Amino acid sequence: MSGKTHIAAMSRPLKNEEIKAFTKQVGYSPTSVPVAVDAFAVFVHKDNPLDQITFQQLDAVFSSERRRGAQESLDHWGQLGLSGTWGQAPILPQIRDSNSGTGQFFKEFVLMGGKDKESDVVQPGAASVVNAVMNDPYAIGYSGIGYRTDSVKPLRVAGEKGEPFVEPTFESASNGSYPLRRVLYLYVNHSPQAKDSPLLSEIIKFAVSQEGQQLVAKSGFFPLPTKDLVALYADWSEPITSAATNGNPQQIR
């Protein structure tokens, strides 16, 4: 927020207070540029029989407040329909710190801002969440789908009641049918009064070009829809203007 860099990558939209702080510091607002889609997966151990889960169930697994209306806390796998040895086994949630983009997104989008359970285990990174699930058959955690390994299994997820369970795939993330998705941004520091920077424009155009989006896919993320890429490329082929936007994971389809 100090205005000392020209471009920064963000895994979430800037908060209103962050935009205000930036504007106060430099006198103009930052410009947001969506560059990729990140699909989150809810991972369980590969041997776990569970195949699907709803937002309300996730809320009851991870949050002590259950703002989505679940009647009881989900603490054992039997409460999710598993039987036998699994039925009595504890659910061991693995989470990210709420200051991380991933943790903040999950808390706001799935838990509706509810508090984490005291028993939730905070992991320092996305790979750590997957490793924890991989090493404990009773663990469950969320992370970017790009961190998937053969030792964990992504669950099909349903958002609101009555919606279908959707597997996290390239198609479902790109067309918006998979509910656990977010847009990744580049934020640009450019004064409306300053001379346009050809280098800055070329960086943005590369990010939204076919070659740039191929790199997005190789990094475990999903490209933006073609119509959005075409519009962004055209925008950055014109003079740059400053416009803060508070995007959310539902805006780009």
Q: What is the DSSP string of 134-183?
A: HH-TTEEEEEEGGG--TTEEEPEEE-STTPPPB---HHHHHHT-SSSEEE
Measured distance between the N- and C-terminal CA atoms of the chain, rounded to whole angstroms? 29
On whether both 120 and 49 belong to a single domain, the answer is yes
Is there a single domain that holds both residue 43 and residue 24?
Answer: no
In sign, the C-alpha dihedral spanning 109, 55, 153, 63 is positive
Joined tokens for residue 182: 């977010």
Q: Which range among 44-58, 198-212, 234-248 has the greatest average pLDDT? A: 44-58
Q: Do the domain assignments include residue 211?
A: yes
- Same domain for 70 and 97, yes or no, is yes
- What confidence tens digit (pLDDT) does each residue in 112-132 have? 999 999 999 999 999 999 999
Q: Are residues 78 and 137 in the same domain?
A: yes
**Number of folded domains in the chain?**
2
| Percent with pLDDT over 90 in the chain | 64
Q: What's the confidence (pLDDT) of residue 167?
A: 96
With 50 as the cut, is the pLDDT of residue 248 above it?
no
Give pLDDT, residue 245. 40
Residues 208 and 160 in one domain: no
Mean pLDDT confidence for 183-201 = 83
Q: Is 250 domain-assigned?
A: no
Give the model's confidence band at 3: pLDDT under 50 very low, under 70 low, under 90 confident, else very high.
low
In this prediction, residue 196 has a pLDDT band, given cuts at 50, 70 and 90, of low
pLDDT band at 207 (very low <50, low <70, confident <90, very high): very high
| Cβ(95)–Cβ(239) below 8 Å | no
Q: Position of tokens 């740059």? A: 240
- Angle between helical axes of 198-207 and 210-218 (0-180°, round to 10): 60
| Residues 47 and 146 grouped into a single domain | yes
Tell me what pLDDT residue 161 has: 82
CATH of the domain at 200: 3.40.190.10
pLDDT-based confidence at residue 2 (cuts at 50, 70, 90)? low
Instruction: Give yes or no: residues 116 and 22 share one domain.
Output: no
Are 127 and 213 in a shared domain? no
Average pLDDT of the residues in 5-27: 88
Q: What confidence tens digit (pLDDT) does each residue in 67-100 have?
A: 999 999 999 999 999 999 999 999 999 999 888 8
248 vs 196, more confident: 196
The reply to whether 57 and 139 lie within a common domain is yes
17 and 73 co-located in one domain:
no
Has residue 241 been placed in a domain?
Answer: no
In a domain, residue 157? The reply is yes
Of the three residues 130, 150, 175, the one that is the final residue of a domain is 175
In this structure, is residue 90 part of a structural domain? Answer: yes
| Domain of residue 93, residue span | 39-175
Cβ burial of 173 (10 Å; 0-12, 13-18, 19+) is: buried
pLDDT of res. 237? 84
Whether 123 maps to a domain, the answer reads yes
Asked if residue 94 belongs to a domain, the reply is yes
| Exposure string over 208-223, b if 16+ CB within 10 A, otherwise e | beeebbeebeeeebbb
pLDDT(14) > 70: yes
- In this prediction, residue 122 carries a pLDDT of 97
Share of the chain above pLDDT 70, in %: 91
* Same-domain pairing of 29 and 117: no
Residue 58 falls inside a structural domain: yes
83 and 58 within one domain: yes
